[in-house]
Amino acid sequence: MSLSIESAQKIFSGTQVPSPIPATIALFDQLNVDDKLALLWFAYTELGRSITPAAPGAARLQLAEGLLNQIKQMSNDDQTQLMRDLAGYVDTPISRSYASFSVNTKLAFWFELGELMKKGIVAPIPPGYQMSDGVKFVLEAIQKLDPGQQITVLRNTVVNMGFEPEVNSSGYSKAAKEPMFPRTQPAPTKLTVEGITEPAVLSYFEALNADNFDAAIALFTPDGAVQPPFQKPIIGRESIIAYMRAEAQGLNIMPEQGISEALPDGSKQLKITGKVQTPWFGVQVGMNIAWRFLLNPEGKIFFVAIDMLASPQELLNLRPTK
């Protein structure tokens, strides 16, 4: 029997709890554009304080420098309009250049705009701004999330901004020329994951902690796939490695425990829970994560889904709750 992505996506589905993140983003999507910007600004003034200032990095900002310099020269009204265009997905030359940035450059670009807003070089939220009821409602929804979920909401909204002329599903090559992410603290080296001994899985975690994506990809079958949180599977070694170079740099992977089940055809399914830190927030934010692996009978990784957990309690929820 050959393995299929479709059936792999369903492994351990009985143990999954719906995440509040898509629902929160759906609420956000209903706001008008000025409310969106105001909401994100308020959410960001809380969360942004925990950003590691070294993370955006001067080198990374160079890629957005042309755009930032152009913005600094603009009138306050034009700056406000530009932010509206980005948040409203309006087709303008600037929205197109923004959309061509990698995820981390988009985040660095907004980080710098936020700094420029604080300094008064870029138009801030108007001083007398009154939150609409809609903004208050969504802000309360965000405040109920755990910090790992909050930064995911912020990240996903930033990633979607701008205007992309054609949907480009393999756009991770954007990051190929970018500088490596500096690690904010050394990655864990010797890993023990309670309940897990499969070499491919332990080596996967070790390879990611060393930013060694070549080693990670060697653990996959040629038709293997990675399914990041709230995304479609990324299939095949070349696509996975480009994706990891763009989005998995500098992560600290701290799996804690798992279960492993042999299937009749000799393949194995594993579910592991633990924490992941992004270099953007370092030790300040630990995201609660589950990995669901499907290994082929030879022990190679055919599929791994990365899920954001709905609650910290779910870290212990490895078996079906019925």
Provide the binding-site residues for ligand 45D, judged by CB under 6 A: 37, 40-41, 44, 48, 51, 107, 110-111, 113-114, 117, 151-152, 154-155, 158, 208, 226, 228-229, 244, 247-248, 251, 253, 276, 278, 280, 287, 289, 306
Q: Given the complex with ligand 45D, which of 40 and 294 has the nearer CB atom?
A: 40
Q: How far is the CB of 37 from ligand 45D (least distance, A)?
A: 5
**What distance in Å separates the CA atoms of residue 109 and residue 103, rounded to the nearest whole number?**
10
Q: How far apart are the first and last CA of the chain?
A: 28
Q: Given the complex with ligand 45D, which of 181 and 280 has the nearer CB atom?
A: 280
Q: Given the complex with ligand 45D, which of 3 and 226 has the nearer CB atom?
A: 226
Do residues 176 and 242 make contact, with C-beta atoms less than 8 angstroms apart? yes
Q: How far is the CB of 26 from ligand 45D (least distance, A)?
A: 18
Q: How far is the CB of 287 from ligand 45D (least distance, A)?
A: 5
Q: Given the complex with ligand 45D, which of 155 and 300 has the nearer CB atom?
A: 155
Q: How far is the CB of 177 from ligand 45D (least distance, A)?
A: 19
Phi-psi region of 240 (alpha: psi -120 to 50; beta: other; left: phi over 0): alpha
**What distance in Å separates the CA atoms of residue 66 and residue 60, rounded to the nearest whole number?**
12
**What distance in Å separates the CA atoms of residue 293 and residue 138, rounded to the nearest whole number?**
34
Contacts of residue 74, defined as CB under 8 A and 6 or more positions apart, other chains included, come to 82
Q: Given the complex with ligand 45D, which of 2 and 169 has the nearer CB atom?
A: 169
Q: How far is the CB of 167 from ligand 45D (least distance, A)?
A: 20
Beta-sheet pairing, 252-262 with 220-227: unpaired
Phi-psi region of 304 (alpha: psi -120 to 50; beta: other; left: phi over 0): beta
Containing H/E element for 287?
A: strand 287-295
Q: How far is the CB of 71 from ligand 45D (least distance, A)?
A: 12
Q: How far is the CB of 229 from ligand 45D (least distance, A)?
A: 6
> Residue 286 gets which letter from DSSP?
-
Q: How far is the CB of 48 from ligand 45D (least distance, A)?
A: 6
Q: Given the complex with ligand 45D, which of 1 and 180 has the nearer CB atom?
A: 180
- Residue 92: φ, ψ to 5°: -135, 165
Task: Name the β-bridge partners of 257.
Answer: 194, 273
Torsion of CA 236, 238, 241, 244, to 10 degrees: -70
Q: Given the complex with ligand 45D, which of 3 and 246 has the nearer CB atom?
A: 246
Tokens representing 72 are: 């600094």
Query: If 0-12 CB within 10 Å is exposed, 13-18 middle and 19+ buried, where does residue 234 land?
Result: buried
Q: Given the complex with ligand 45D, which of 242 and 287 has the nearer CB atom?
A: 287
Contacts of residue 42, defined as CB under 8 A and 6 or more positions apart, other chains included, come to 131, 135, 139
Q: Given the complex with ligand 45D, which of 210 and 264 has the nearer CB atom?
A: 210
**What distance in Å separates the CA atoms of residue 118 and residue 306, rounded to the nearest whole number?**
36
Q: How far is the CB of 292 from ligand 45D (least distance, A)?
A: 11
